[in-house]
Structure 1
Amino acid sequence: MARETIEKGVLPYLLKSIFKKQNFITNWLFGIESEAEKQLLKNILKDTDPNFFAWAINEIVNWKNETIPENLIHIHGNKDRIIPIKNVKADFVIDGGSHFMTVNRSEKMGKIIRQIWQHNS
């Protein structure tokens, strides 16, 4: 009963509160490294429905996927605090990559994607 209360009541409320606007917790969770990234995250959070955030986190936490497509290529950061590297089977690991690595490690990601593209062409 207590766990269900936390998962269905307290946790979604806390997540909605935390993700309502950019703050030191969201900066840490997403791996923000600059003032420009802070502003971008602020805009993303402002434009995103808090109910969507609560839903998305619930789905990630409770996802029980057992089927991995053969052609899946997983690129993941070793500093992701939202989905830690220990919880995934990455094909490529971006050193220092956080949940915001599509922004602050885009060159490294692009290099990997180009290598994959060339290898499969």
Structure 2
Amino acid sequence: MSKIPVYFMPGLAASPLIFERIALPEEDFEMVLLEWELPLENESLANYAKRMATKVTHESPVLVGVSFGGILVQEMARFLEPRKVIIISSVKSNLELPRRMKVAKTTKAYKLIPMNLILNLENLAKFSFGEKINQRLKLYEKFLSVRDIGYLQWAVEKVILWDRTIADEKVIHIHGDADDVFPIKYIKGCTVVQGGTHVMILNKYKWLNKNLPAIIMDSFDFKG
């Protein structure tokens, strides 16, 4: 039996390194890590997704996306015939976005985010207080791969202005109950990971490694 190809898309500006702790049985699965491309000028999310879909070279792939990568793989699925679409720490429609993002859409406040601060983590560390924040900054420094202001502005805008209002019922959604970016109270129809935060791809990898194969192979008990 041939291996099942599983394509992984990282979160906003993140590198494929975020999947370094994910290990699927090699006899059954072939893992392929995707990377962000810089968007073309004024490129729509649909056109970007179409471009990224050309990087998927296997038939009937499984698409796994984290956070904004979860939004992207749902859009890529329009141009592919995936076996499954699995999103982690993400949303299935703009109805699941938190209230602050909906307000930002109305007020266009997202245009005021100082992207250069996000890019310059060393400066951000000087203004942070507490060990927990500094640990998170170290994580970001390791896993942030796209340090391009144009990309960040584009990506943040595409999340907030995402126009999907009806969730695809076939999308499998894995979400942590302690996600502070996309709070669980706004999410419907997901498999909940207890204690999972927005970066649970890193700190709940044991749960994912244990359960992803069964989810892909249709033998996972979603009610369990």
The number of residues matched between the two structures is 110
Cα distance in 2 for residues equivalent to 1:103 and 1:17 = 25
Residue 172 of structure 2 aligns to a residue in which SS?
coil
Unmatched runs of 5 consecutive residues or more in structure 1: none
1:54–1:94 CA distance, 2 compared to 1 (3 A): farther
2:172 counterpart residue number: 73
1:60 counterpart residue number: 159
Written as runs of structure 1 = structure 2, the 5 A alignment for 1:65-104 is 65-104=164-203
The alpha carbon displacement at 1:113 in A equals 1.4
Residue 56 of structure 1 aligns to a residue in which SS?
helix
Tell me the alpha carbon deviations over residues 58-113 of structure 1, each in whole angstroms, 9 at most, x when there is no partner. Answer: 22222231333332100112222222222322421122222211111111122231
* Identical amino acids, percent of aligned pairs: 23
Written as runs of structure 1 = structure 2, the 5 A alignment for 1:98-117 is 98-117=197-216
The letter of the residue matching 1:112 is N
Cα distance in 1 for residues equivalent to 2:164 and 2:179 = 20
Conserved in 2, the CA contact under 8 Å of 1:20 and 1:46? Answer: no
The alpha carbon displacement at 1:19 in A equals 1.7
Greater per-residue strand proportion:
2
Written as runs of structure 1 = structure 2, the 5 A alignment for 1:11-22 is 11-22=110-121
Matched, 1:119 2:218: yes
Conserved in 2, the CA contact under 8 Å of 1:76 and 1:90? Answer: no
Conserved in 1, the CA contact under 8 Å of 2:179 and 2:196? Answer: yes
Greater per-residue helix proportion:
1
Unmatched runs of 5 consecutive residues or more in structure 2: 1-103
The alpha carbon displacement at 1:120 in A equals 5.0
The letter of the residue matching 2:182 is I
